[in-house]
Amino acid sequence: MPTGAVQNLPWEYEGVGQEREFRALFENSPDAILLLHIPPDGENLTFIDLNAATCRYLGYSRNELRDMSWQEILAHLTINDRELLHQDIRKSAPGGGKVLREIAATRKDGTEIPMEISLTTVAGVGHTTVLVIARDITERRMAAEALIAANRKLSLVSSITRHDILNQITILKGYLQLMMKIPVPDPRLKKYLQKEERAVETVRQLIGFTSDYGGIGTLEPRWQDLDMSIARAIQSLDKDGVAITWDTGSVRIYADPLLEKVFFNLTENAIRHGGKITRISFSCRETGKGLVIVCEDNGIGIPAEEKENIFCRQYYQHTGLGLSLSRDILSITGLSIRETGTPGAGARFEIIVPPGFYRMCQGGD
């Protein structure tokens, strides 16, 4: 054959070569692959083809599976998974699309195998083809369960350790307070005792912070009523005569369950460090970039050069930990926080909630 003759091969021959390559990829894929045919009416799905991994996963021979209808293959799923998967296929078929779902399949020997199913539909002339790719996620599930179990054990140990440390701190503070009442000839001793008492209180607050921080991300995010979250946050707060109001309407936020801790930290921080503060207010407004929740007060405000530092752990002066924690809580679901107040005219914190992570409810829905 002369040089360059391959380039002049007829399209039909080249197509055969491509078909062989695709068939080899199809058969040697580590994932189970099935092809379905859906007629225009969406009924009577027919089974077209499958690969070797499908046989290996389900425990049947290729001939056994080829003799089965699609409905018989679906029978290897739980009733709930079967209905959801069938619905996914019907919904995605008209316009084409992709669906990803986790299911539990039953093998021929009766054992169950967790799988991740990917459905891709391609609309043809007078029919629709569905590509089903299934992957064994047993190891992924085992790893996730092991991680959950490890986290529970670590959480238990941390909780017990914090409890024991706090008990010792309480004892230490008690003895320090008794020593403060004893007359001492050298005034420096009284000063040292006061510093020790402040150090003990700082340790107590740090232990409390580890408890709060340890709760971030341990539970799944959920939809939360904004009004109720603020109300719960300030319920146990020592307001020290400061009026706290909010007008946020009927809004739900998708966030970590510790969301109300954010509002608690903002109000406590304002009362503690806002100077002669008399009011704190919460409000929200919808913008082109999402929802903005505003917490503002009439205190002394935040110096311009410190607006970002106050969220840093290194800035800790009874404030940095709480605000750093708040930022981390919000970031779990992509929410962010910034300080935009005017120095000398009060602090103003803005929480930005991106589209899709809030719902404007009407009529109490």
Q: What angle do CA 87, 90, 96 make, to 5 degrees?
A: 125
For residue 26, what pLDDT band results from cuts at 50, 70 and 90?
A: confident
Q: What pLDDT score was predicted for residue 279?
A: 94
**240 pLDDT higher than 70:** yes
For residue 7, what pLDDT band results from cuts at 50, 70 and 90?
A: very low
Q: What pLDDT score was predicted for residue 3?
A: 33
322 vs 252, more confident: 252
For residue 364, what pLDDT band results from cuts at 50, 70 and 90?
A: very low
* C-alpha closest to that of 221 among 102, 329, 81: 329
Mean of the per-residue pLDDT values of the chain: 81
> What is the three-class DSSP state of 63?
helix
Q: Residues 68-77: what's their mean pLDDT? A: 79
Q: What is the pLDDT of residues 319-345, one digit of tens each?
A: 457 788 889 889 989 999 999 999 989
35 vs 290, more confident: 290
Q: What pLDDT score was predicted for residue 308?
A: 84
Which range has the worst mean pLDDT, 193-197, 214-218, 301-305, 309-313?
214-218
Q: Residues 304-314: what's their mean pLDDT? A: 80
Q: What strands, in cross-sheet order, belong to the sheet with 290-297? A: 243-247, 279-287, 290-297, 348-353, 336-339
Q: What pLDDT score was predicted for residue 126?
A: 64
Q: What pLDDT score was predicted for residue 199?
A: 85
CB 331 within 8 A of CB 309: no
Q: Is the pTM of this model over 0.85?
A: no
Percent of residues, the chain, with pLDDT higher than 90: 21
d(CA 271, CA 299): 9
**84 pLDDT higher than 60:** yes
Q: What strands, in cross-sheet order, belong to the sheet with 251-255? A: 222-225, 251-255, 358-360
> Which residues lie closer than 8 Å to 252 by C-beta, 6 or more apart?
223, 224, 225, 226, 358, 359, 361
Highest mean pLDDT among 99-103, 147-151, 333-337: 333-337
